[in-house]
Each structure stands twice: as C-alpha cells, then as structure tokens.
Structure 1
Amino acid sequence: MNRYRMRFAPSVWKPKLNPWLVDWLRPLRKRRQWSELRINRVSVVGESIVRDQLDAGSGVLLMPNHSSHADPYIIYAAADRIGTALYVMATWHVFDGQPWLTQQLLRCHGCFSVDREANDIGAFRLATGILQEKKQPLVLFPEGEIYHCNDRVTPFREGAAAIAVSAARKSKRPIVCVPCAMTYRYEDDPTDQLVETMGELEEAILWRRRTGRPLSQRVYQFAEALLAVKELEYFDHASRGPLPERIRVLGDHILSQVESRHGILAGSSSVPERVKAVRRTIIEQLESDDCSSELAAKLNDDLEDMFLVVQSFSYPGDYVKAEPSIERLAETLDKFEEDILRRSTASIKAERSVRVQFGDAIAVTGDRKDKGQTSRITSKVEAAVQSMLDEGARWRCGSA
C-alpha cells in the first residue's frame, strides 16, 4: 500500500477543467496507458446509462471500485468512450511534491484535492457544487485506498453518498449515483515474472528461493511468515489457525490499543473509518504548538501502527485460496512488492485488458427527513459494484 505522509494537507488544489485540452491529450493518455501500465484494450459496458443521464441534465456521481493504480487512466478511457471529461476527487498526496506542470495537467483534467484525514469542508462543498452545476460527471472512489483485490470490494465509505445527498437537497436538477466496476485481465501469461518476484520476496526475508513448489503455496507460506513476525512483535508469540481470523485479531488488537491510548470509542464503524478517526486525533496533536519531541515520537509510532492496521486489512487471508487465479496471485504479489520491497508501485508483469461496466443509476432525493438515505445508497452501490465484478470475473474466464 502507498505510504502517505500523515499530516494535514499543506495546500489545496482546485480543478481547472479544460475539456478541449482533455480531448487533445487523449492520444498521450493512451500512449502512457500502454507504456506505463501495459494496458492495451479497454472495453466499456453500459456507457449509455451515463450518457443518457448527462443528456437529461442530471448531476452524475460515478462510484467505481479502486483496486489498481491504473484506475484513473481507465475511468478516463471510459469517459472518452462516453464523450465527456470528468471531475475527480483525489487525496492531496497525488499533487504534493509533483512538478508544477504535472499539477496543472491534473487540474486541467478536473482533478482536485481532498484531505481525507481532516474534516475537509472545502472539498465537500466543491464536490456538491460540481454535482449541482457542472455538466461533467464527478468521480469518487468510495473504497478510499487501493487494496489490490479486484474481485472483491472492500467496505464503501459513506462520504461519497453523503456528498450526493447534500447536493440533492439544494439542487435544481436531478442527482444520481452510478455504480462502476473495473475488471482487469492478463492477456499474456505473467507466470515467469510472478515467480521471479516471489523469489525476490523470499530472499528479502532471508529465505532461499523455494523453487519447485507451487506458486500459491509459496505465497501462503510467505504470508504466514510475515504474519508470525508481527504476532511475535505485538503478542510475544505466533498464533495458530486460519489466516483471515489471525489477521483480524491482530489488526483489532493494535487498533483497540491505540484507540484506548487516545480516548477514542471504537463504535461499530468499519476498520478504515476507525483508523481515520484515530489518525485525525494524532495529527491534530502532532501539529499543535506544544507537541514535544518525545510526544511526537510516540505519536509517530501510533501512526505507524495505524498504517499496519490498514495494510493488514488489505489482505483478506483467503483471497488466493478461494480462487487461485493468475490475477489473484498477481494482485497478492503486487501488494507484497509494495509492502515488503517498498516499491511505490508494483512492477508491471504482462499485457492486460480492462472491462469497465456501469450499472443502473440510483436516484438521490433531497428529502431532509430521510436520515438513512446515505447508508442506503452506499449499500446499494457497493452491492451493484460487487455484482458487476462477479460478471467481470466471468468475462475474465471467457464465459461472459
């Protein structure tokens, strides 16, 4: 997973969408889509759903899954097929540290920053305004992080739906949420590259390359070793039992300990939401004027613990075992490559193609008395995206 700098955003980047420039730069996006990501073909299903809503004058919120660093290229490739530019909310880390020209190109493509660790009212209002007034769709990734689990959605956060509901309450036009599923498929066999990456990972933890064993077995034994190391660190002993349960217990133990230290009640929120609440509290203390160097060291240790919680949460523990496909093996090794070898993004293993599918639009009402609408829309969109990912898995196998 990406190791973001854990602090509040140092600046704000607003969109400067230029549809003419977006159209003119389409060949460049396609070239980089191939040269950087080895994605050759993008097929789109259901683009008429989005086009019809735009033609009707609706404010359109696209809510895709987020399993790959390639997703921004792919959602824009689908938008090219629809015939529209996009507004895209992105974490401020996407802009920070980039050359000025890169920042401007992102802004001209409709990208704008959000501080996910803070209560970013400015980004919230900007997003609601886009839905109320702009003719281009707004893209929000409700999973928040890139989890490298293309066949399964992780719990959708409610922030995206909350923006749509807030926009609908004062909008003069209809607001709709459109589920979107992006499924990746290898066109070339990446097995040789995966075996090489597995060998590098084994050597990184002082193992010999375990050649001659099935790749899926090597992946699980490697995962067992990593988990045992962390259990020894936090429990003083390695546990036994199924990986999913051991991962859950470790993550909950670490998260509960840090919540307790900072006086935060866990409640019934998802792990990502609990982590977000803890990070916000820690960053507020870190950025206060009376934060001593000793306290800062302890707070940074807590932030590192929170990164580990999210990192472990991204490993379901049974993802490969449930279906040992080449794509699931590759995704798991991609995560190991980023987490253990500390690469900013995993290496590209082979040529891929992508299927983008849009689901039926979900109308958002402006009824202020409907207190459960945000949760209901989030659940509907999440279920729709998972259903389309299931269709995508059949497409990957050639049966759809």
Structure 2
Amino acid sequence: MSVVFDRPYEFVPRDRSILWPWMIQRLRLVDHYLKKKEGIVDREILDFDRLRASVDQGHGIVVAPNHCRYADPLAMAWPSRKARLYFYAVASWHLFNKSWFDSFGMRKCGAFSLHREGTDRKSLETAIEILTNAERPLIIFPEGQTFRTNDLVREPLDGVGFIARTAARRRAKQDDGQVVIHPIAIKYLATTSVNDWSNAQLEQMESHLGWRRQRKPDLVLRVLRLSDAQLALREITFLGSAQKGDIVTRRRELCEHLLSQAESELGVQVVDPDDIGSRNRTIRSSIASVYFSEPMDADRQALLRDLDFGCDVAHELDAYDDHTYLESTVTTEERLVETIQRIQESLMGKINRKLPLKAIIRCGEAIHVPAEKAPKGESDPILVTLADELRQMIHRHPGRRLS
C-alpha cells in the first residue's frame, strides 16, 4: 500500500444500485477474471447459511475476512452468490487510483474509499450508517493490508471494533437492533503438486541473479537462499552493504533503520517502537499531509516518495519470517508457493500465477457486538474473539505437507 501522489484524497461514495452487481454475477465475470489473473480454478463455499440467518434477523453485519492475497476481495463474490446477497466493502483509496476500469468496477460492486493516511470521517460515517440501517453486509478486512502468509492471521485493527461498536450503540437507540461480526476464513490450496512449478520459478530467479543451476534441488533450501539474497540486496540499497548476523536480526535492524529515518525526517513521534504497522501508518499519514499542504521543489517531492517506498519495504520486512514459516514442522506446499511468490514480487516486480489454486471460504458464527465502548487500556474482546475464530478456521484446512 503506497501513498497516492497524483492527487489529494477525494472520498469515493458507494453505489447503491444492484444492477451492476447482479449483471457481474450473472455473467460470471469474477470467475473468469480470477481463473485468468490469479490462477484460482475452483472454490468451496461453506457455512454461509450463518450469514444468511443474520441477514434474515435484520442485523447490521460486518463481514470480516482474513487478507492473504490480492484476490480476496473478488473471491468474496462467490459467497455473495451462494448466500444470494450483495455486499458493500471498504477499500483503500490507492486501489481507486490504479486505473479507471478498476475504480469503475469497484464502485459498481459496492466499494467505497477509505483514506488510510488521514482521518476519513466520511468513510467512517458511511460504514457506521450501513451497519446502523442494516442496508447490506459490509466487508471490512480487519488486518488492514494484504499479507502473503495464508496460515497466519494478524491482529485486527482497532478501527473495526470502533465502527462496529458505534453502529451497535446507534442501533440500540434506534430500534433495539443488533450488530454482529462474521469471521470469514479464506484459504487457498494448490490443486496439483507444486514441485514442477516451484522448480521453474526458482530456476528463473536464480538465473536472474546469475547463480549456477542447482544440481541437488532442495526446494526449501533454495527458497531460503533466495530470501537471504533478497534481504542482502535491500541492505545494499539502503545501508550500502550486506550486513552480518542472523537473518531475523538483520530484518529487524533494516526495518528500524527505514522507519526511524522517515520519522526523523518528518518529525514524527514514536509511541510504540514495537508496533511496526502503527508506525508505518503514521509515517504515511505525515507524508500525505506534507505532500499536499506545502509547496515544495522536485528534490523534496522525490525525498517523500523515497520515504514512502521505505515504508513499503518496512512492511515487507515486518510481514514475513521465511525461515520460521518454512522450517516449521508444519511446512506445506502452500507455504512454499506463498514465499516464492513474495520473493518474485520483490525481486522481479511480478509473480507467476499459473499454479492452479482452490479457494475455500468458510463463514464463522456471528459474534455479537455490544453497544458499550471497548475497555480502555486492553485489547477489545470482540477483536480478540474475531482473531481467534479466524485462526481456528484457517487451520481446519492445513494443506499438503512438503514431501
């Protein structure tokens, strides 16, 4: 997720019409797109009678999926069809700026924008209004960003709880209605053996780096070597040379260097040094604010863009621990694929999506949202429950172990 430098933020409202969502579903456009662009050739939709029951009871509904791939928002069209429902969705402002076609399609499917780099009262009020009036189920990805680690679920952002609880208070005053959160677990499994695909992708990246072909191909070892090389390249870019020490420490130190450099340049105060996600969001907010509020020359603009790119790299460093993810006792083919694709994206700018995948999308039981504010100084209990439920559902489909 990067700051949009082309133009200042302008709220993109939801489109209330059901004509376009109906037509997109009728023509199976999402099915064709996900097969061609993401390699998702099959799906299994489970337990969405639970969501249908909440709709029939008139609840305001937050639909809260985990977020491991860029395909996730589109994949939610399948449970929408299964449950005979149309959704609204909160989408980051930068997604509306990729192309006019993407922006048009997102709006027609019910998405509205959220400015992550600032206080977006219109977006928050829209989300709360949707839940208060129980217009449609509202998709909010509680992790906030995409993480290419399907077996891991990050802690939900506080904003999810704030929106749900605020709507619950308004519903209680309005008609004694309820707001609920349905956790949605999205899991992608390979439909065939990944060995041939993995070998081909690793050979391509090794050749890109000028390495000799591996005579005794150990897939995990080769991936870890590439991950080390990728980190070394990042270190050379930002620190001037590859560093010594274990890879976990090196990742942490490079991440700290990038964030502290940006915070110093922008005068940002650090509240929690260990909360990389929060620090990243604060830096981006400051970048966007400065960029569009101060007259500046080309050098200053270039500096802000560089700081934003550093935030991208810091997110990348914080999001993954390849050695732990691959060397654990439950290493699966899917973990191998995810890690290869992450390295491809970083090293070569794009990933190979030709490996056929199956999406399993499961709906959890409704989590009742109380009207009271979250307790101060501790984690919001409804968000703790949400994260626990998502993790349990994800682990019901572990994937194939590496042979």
What is the Cα deviation at residue 9 of structure 1?
4.7
Tell me which amino acid in the other structure corresponds to 2:163.
I
Residue 56 of structure 1 corresponds to which residue in structure 2? 57
Residue 16 of structure 2 corresponds to which residue in structure 1? 17
Between 1:2-11 and 1:207-216, the stretch displaced more is 2-11
Q: Please state whether the residue corresponding to 2:360 is helix, strand or coil.
A: strand
Residue 352 of structure 1 corresponds to which residue in structure 2? 357
TM-score normalized by structure 1? 0.90
Distance 2:321 2:114 in 1: 28
Identical-pair percentage: 24
Residue 312 of structure 2 corresponds to which residue in structure 1? 307
Distance 1:369 1:335 in 2: 36
Distance 1:48 1:129 in 2: 25
Query: Deviation digits for residues 230-283 of structure 1, max 9, x if unmatched?
Result: 335427551212x33332232123223322333323223621111010111122
**CA shift in 2, pair 1:214/1:311, >3 Å:** same
Q: Is the 8 A contact 1:199 1:209 kept in 2?
A: yes
**CA shift in 2, pair 1:146/1:375, >3 Å:** same
Q: Please state whether the residue corresponding to 1:83 is helix, strand or coil.
A: coil
Gaps in structure 2 of 5+ consecutive residues: none
Tell me which amino acid in the other structure corresponds to 2:103.
Q
Q: Please state whether the residue corresponding to 1:54 is helix, strand or coil.
A: helix
Matches within 5 A, 1:323-338: 323-338=330-345
Q: Please state whether the residue corresponding to 1:95 is helix, strand or coil.
A: helix
What is the Cα deviation at residue 114 of structure 1?
1.3
Distance 2:198 2:207 in 1: 14
Q: 2:390 aligns with which of 381, 385, 389?
A: 385
Gaps in structure 1 of 5+ consecutive residues: none
Residue 90 of structure 2 corresponds to which residue in structure 1? 89
**CA shift in 2, pair 1:298/1:31, >3 Å:** closer
Query: Deviation digits for residues 126-147 of structure 1, max 9, x if unmatched?
Result: 1111111143200011222211
Distance 1:306 1:41 in 2: 35
Residue 365 of structure 1 corresponds to which residue in structure 2? 370
Distance 1:219 1:199 in 2: 11
Distance 1:341 1:3 in 2: 18
Distance 1:221 1:254 in 2: 23
Distance 1:234 1:275 in 2: 19
**CA shift in 2, pair 1:220/1:368, >3 Å:** closer
Q: Please state whether the residue corresponding to 1:90 is helix, strand or coil.
A: strand
Tell me which amino acid in the other structure corresponds to 1:159.
G
Residue 43 of structure 1 corresponds to which residue in structure 2? 44
Q: Do residues 293 (structure 1) and 292 (structure 2) align?
A: no
Distance 2:7 2:317 in 1: 24
Residue 137 of structure 1 corresponds to which residue in structure 2? 137
Q: Is the 8 A contact 2:9 2:115 kept in 1?
A: no
Residue 106 of structure 2 corresponds to which residue in structure 1? 106
Residue 191 of structure 1 corresponds to which residue in structure 2? 195
Q: Is the 8 A contact 1:190 1:349 kept in 2?
A: no
Distance 2:190 2:285 in 1: 39
Q: Is the 8 A contact 2:48 2:82 kept in 1?
A: yes
Q: 1:342 aligns with which of 335, 349, 354?
A: 349
Distance 2:306 2:98 in 1: 24
Q: Do residues 245 (structure 1) and 252 (structure 2) align?
A: no
Q: Is the 8 A contact 2:2 2:309 kept in 1?
A: no
**CA shift in 2, pair 1:295/1:390, >3 Å:** same
Over the aligned positions, Cα root-mean-square deviation in angstroms equals: 2.4
Distance 1:143 1:200 in 2: 32
TM-score normalized by structure 2? 0.89
Q: Please state whether the residue corresponding to 2:380 is helix, strand or coil.
A: helix
**CA shift in 2, pair 1:261/1:37, >3 Å:** closer
**CA shift in 2, pair 1:68/1:86, >3 Å:** same
Q: Is the 8 A contact 1:8 1:117 kept in 2?
A: no
What is the Cα deviation at residue 38 of structure 1?
3.0
